[in-house]
């Protein structure tokens, strides 16, 4: 028993989480003699693979968790799991460690996760001549059955006593009859003697007649006795038949009692399983409440940070407007000075073009940058004599896309000039296709650019005026998306890299559905019907192969577009959303996905039941609570790795990193999700801004920071 020095892996796993059919115990005796070793034989099924820390324990019948084992032995791993011979295994328990009482026990196979994979029939440790019937019933039923059995036994005893009495009477009558017959024979002999004497003595005739009369009386009495004996025998046979019927009825009642005992045992096990299931559900509800409380706290912190950042953004916009106006004034003054300088040089008789240095004019790019850009447009290049330095279309578009990725706030100020410049670059159908491909690749390869990419596609579809035989920008974009859409089933079942690209396409298509607008002839803005057909098919492809990353992508897509899709489908009388969530419920019940993914799907179901978290807020400054905000427990912050891969609390591979980032945000509110300190030194762009601030703007900025810090402390 040296193997049992180390405690086996156990858990509080209840009966509803066990799989008793994966390991089958063979040749289990009803009784094991105390003082001897016990060998346990078991068979591994095809669907079960043993592991190093699996063990077999002896449990007292009625156990609830795997921690209640009496003793255990480690199982030996077979050399070839697929071989039929290695599936038949055995383990021996030494007599010293076996129970000494006569309680009922059973073998249980427990894997290294503490989950029971198989259980044997109950057995006892007692001598072989002891009773081997396990009776499980209620005390009331036992008393009622015992009372009925005692009544039957009493009635049976009475019949036996009556039968014995009748048999005794019969024997007495037989003895009396024998006695009478002997007397009759005696009388006959006497009669013969008397007849002889009558012959001899006439005087004895009268006495002979008397003897004859007496003989006749005895004969009649004998006949009566025979009739009485026949009646007693008939009565005895009748009572014997009744006794047999009572014995048969007693046996039927005994069998009925055994059947009731078995039914009671099944009901007791079912009741125990229901109780364990209810306990598990209560624990799950408590865990969900704790997670919801944590999410609520985090949501409030993010709301406060969002408010502060919005206020800071408005202040920066004001500063930007001031700097733009000042820049325009300086440019105007610069133009006036240049004209005055030209006039003075003409007056002095000098040629302006002969000077070794010329101030760049607005036409040459020196002051011709867009007035809407605070620090100039980094993408407007001046034409040089050497055309080798002039960027290509791919470089120009990629630089602009990278700029939007790093500074999405510049979209409103720079998109117009970008759109107006594109026709000068895109002069062929191939260039037009290249433009669409560059935007598509940026939107699907950078996780946090899908929304900005959809906004960019929407703007270009309405403002980009390029005549092409291939079609408009919108048509080329939809053709590119259709190429990925047609291989959706193969992509959902492909390898990890293929599925990752497919997930990026799915989320980008969701953003296009929300942001790519279609304007009718009367100016009405609607969403494309083609996406309403494509998105359900993409969801079906994801749910048809329910691996973890496919299910996560489906949840993100439904959180993104679910409320809008359901409203549209309800208006048109469609039940597509009901069918999708029915499939999700089937996945939760049947799919072999992780526990975290199932919890994510359950949260999605709750989100839909709460009308996708949409409520009518009566007060802007009311604190969110579980009572007034249905979305209180649904929002989870999303972080990104250095490679741009998003992860949440449901991703088991990043749980430690996720918790670290949450704690870091609690202590450092200005810390971004990618790990960059917004207020730290080392960013030359921010350092230049601080150095170039005039005293008035710097004073306003410091006041704003103090107010923000004071509000966070409150």
Residue 130: per-residue pLDDT: 47
Task: Please provide residue 41's backbone torsions phi and psi, each rounded to the nearest 5 degrees.
Answer: -105, 135
pLDDT band at 647 (very low <50, low <70, confident <90, very high): low
Percent of the chain at pLDDT > 70 equals 74
In degrees, rounded to 5, the angle at the alpha carbon of residue 449 between the alpha carbons of residues 444 and 451 is 100
Mean pLDDT of 319-344: 80
Largest CA-CA distance found in the chain, in angstroms, rounded: 213
Q: What are 173's two structure tokens? A: 């009558």
Query: Which of helix, strand or coil describes residue 390?
Result: coil
Q: What is the pLDDT of residues 193-235, one digit of tens each?
A: 877 776 777 766 777 788 888 888 898 888 888 898 888 888 8
Residue 1: per-residue pLDDT: 43
Could you give the C-alpha distances from 363 to 369, 418, 423, in angstroms and in order?
Answer: 10, 18, 20
d(CA 499, CA 507): 12
Helices (H), 572-611: 576-590, 595-609
Percent of the chain at pLDDT > 90 equals 10
Q: What is the pLDDT of residues 471-516, one digit of tens each?
A: 888 888 888 899 989 988 898 888 989 999 999 999 988 888 888 8
Mean pLDDT of 139-163: 83
d(CA 617, CA 594): 36
Beta bridge pairs of residue 89? 42
Tell me the pairing of strands 69-74 and 31-32: unpaired
Residue 368: per-residue pLDDT: 39
Q: What is the pLDDT of residues 98-150, one digit of tens each?
A: 998 889 999 999 999 889 999 999 999 887 654 555 556 677 777 888 888 88
For the purposes of burial, counting CB atoms within 10 Å of the CB of 508, is it exposed (0-12), middle (13-18) or buried (19 or more)? buried
HEC-encoded secondary structure of 18-54: CCCECEEEECCCCEECCCCCEEEEEEECCCCCCCCCC
Highest mean pLDDT among 60-74, 118-132, 273-287: 60-74
Mean pLDDT over all residues of the chain?
77
pLDDT of residue 621 exceeding 60, the answer is no
Beta bridge pairs of residue 532? none
Rg of the chain on CA atoms, in Å: 50
Query: Do 397 and 415 meet the contact criterion of CB atoms below 8 Å apart?
Result: no
Query: Which of helix, strand or coil describes residue 79?
Result: coil
Question: What's 160's DSSP letter?
Answer: H
d(CA 548, CA 556): 12
Query: Do 539 and 557 meet the contact criterion of CB atoms below 8 Å apart?
Result: yes
Record the pTM: 0.38
Lowest mean pLDDT among 393-402, 604-613, 663-672: 663-672
Q: Which helix (H) or strand (E) holds 525?
A: strand 525-527
Residue 660: per-residue pLDDT: 65
């Amino acid at each position: 028993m040296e193997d049992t020095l180390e405690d086996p892996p156990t858990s509080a796993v209840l009966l509803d989480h066990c799989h008793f059919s994966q390991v089958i115990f063979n040749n289990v005796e009803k009784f094991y003699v105390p003082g001897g070793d016990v060998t346990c034989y078991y068979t591994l099924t095809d669907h079960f693979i043993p592991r190093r820390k699996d063990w077999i324990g002896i449990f007292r019948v009625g156990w609830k968790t795997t921690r209640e084992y009496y003793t255990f032995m480690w199982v030996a791993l077979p050399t070839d799991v697929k071989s039929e011979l290695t599936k038949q295994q055995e383990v021996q328990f030494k007599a010293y460690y076996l129970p000494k009482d006569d309680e009922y026990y059973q073998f249980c196979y427990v894997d290294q996760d503490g989950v029971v994979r198989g259980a044997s029939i109950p057995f006892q440790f007692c001598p072989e001549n002891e009773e081997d019937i396990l009776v499980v019933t209620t005390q009331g039923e036992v008393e009622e059955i015992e009372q009925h059995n005692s009544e039957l036994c009493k009635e049976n005893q009475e019949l036996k006593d009556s039968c014995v009495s009748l048999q005794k009477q019969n024997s007495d009558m037989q003895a009396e009859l024998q006695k009478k017959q002997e007397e009759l024979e005696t009388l006959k002999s006497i009669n013969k003697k008397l007849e002889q004497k009558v012959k001899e003595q006439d005087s004895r005739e009268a006495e002979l007649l008397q003897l004859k009369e007496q003989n006749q009386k005895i004969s009649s009495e004998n006949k009566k006795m025979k009739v009485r004996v026949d009646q007693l025998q008939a009565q005895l046979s009748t009572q014997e038949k009744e006794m047999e019927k009572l014995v048969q009825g007693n046996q039927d009642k005994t069998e009925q009692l055994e059947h009731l005992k078995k039914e009671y045992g099944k009901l007791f096990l079912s009741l125990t399983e229901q109780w364990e299931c209810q306990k598990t559900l209560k624990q799950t509800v408590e865990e969900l409440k704790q997670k919801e409380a944590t999410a609520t706290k985090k949501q409030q912190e993010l709301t406060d940070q969002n408010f502060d950042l919005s206020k800071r953004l408005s202040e920066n916009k004001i500063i930007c407007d001031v700097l733009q106006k000042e820049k325009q004034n300086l440019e105007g003054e610069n133009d006036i000075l240049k004209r005055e300088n030209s006039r003075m040089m003409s007056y002095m008789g000098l040629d302006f073009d002969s000077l070794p240095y010329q101030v760049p004019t607005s036409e040459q790019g020196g002051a011709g940058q867009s007035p809407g850009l605070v620090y100039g447009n980094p993408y407007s290049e001046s034409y040089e004599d050497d055309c080798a330095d002039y960027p290509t279309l791919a470089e120009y578009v990629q630089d602009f896309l990278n700029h939007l990725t790093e500074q999405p706030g510049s979209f409103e100020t720079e998109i117009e000039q970008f759109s107006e410049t594109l026709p000068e670059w895109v002069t062929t159908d191939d260039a037009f296709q290249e433009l669409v491909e560059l935007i598509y690749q940026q939107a699907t390869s950078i996780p946090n650019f899908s929304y900005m990419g959809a906004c960019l596609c929407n703007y270009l579809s309405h403002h980009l005026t390029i005549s092409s035989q291939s079609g408009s920008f919108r048509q080329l974009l939809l053709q590119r998306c259709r190429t990925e859409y047609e291989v959706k089933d193969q992509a959902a079942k492909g390898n990890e890299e293929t599925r990752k690209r497919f997930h990026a396409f799915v989320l980008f298509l969701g953003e296009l559905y929300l942001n790519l607008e279609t304007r009718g002839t009367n100016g009405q803005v609607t969403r494309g019907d083609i996406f309403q057909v494509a998105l359900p098919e993409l969801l079906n492809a994801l749910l048809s192969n329910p691996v973890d990353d496919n299910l996560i992508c489906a949840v993100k897509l439904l959180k993104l577009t679910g409320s809008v899709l359901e409203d549209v489908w309800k208006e048109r009388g469609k039940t597509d959303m009901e069918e999708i969530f029915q499939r999700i419920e089937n996945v939760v019940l049947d799919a072999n996905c992780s526990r975290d993914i199932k919890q994510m799907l359950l949260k999605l179901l709750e989100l839909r039941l709460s009308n996708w978290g949409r409520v009518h807020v009566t007060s802007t400054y009311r604190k969110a609570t579980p009572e007034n905000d249905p979305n209180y427990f649904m929002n989870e912050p999303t972080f990104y790795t250095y490679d741009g891969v998003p992860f949440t609390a449901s991703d088991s591979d990043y749980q430690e990193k996720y918790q670290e980032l949450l704690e870091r945000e609690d202590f450092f509110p200005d810390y971004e999700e990618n790990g960059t300190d917004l207020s730290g030194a080392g960013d030359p762009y921010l350092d230049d801004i601080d150095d170039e601030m005039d005293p008035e703007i710097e004073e306003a900025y410091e006041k704003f920071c103090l107010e923000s810090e004071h509000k966070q402390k409150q």
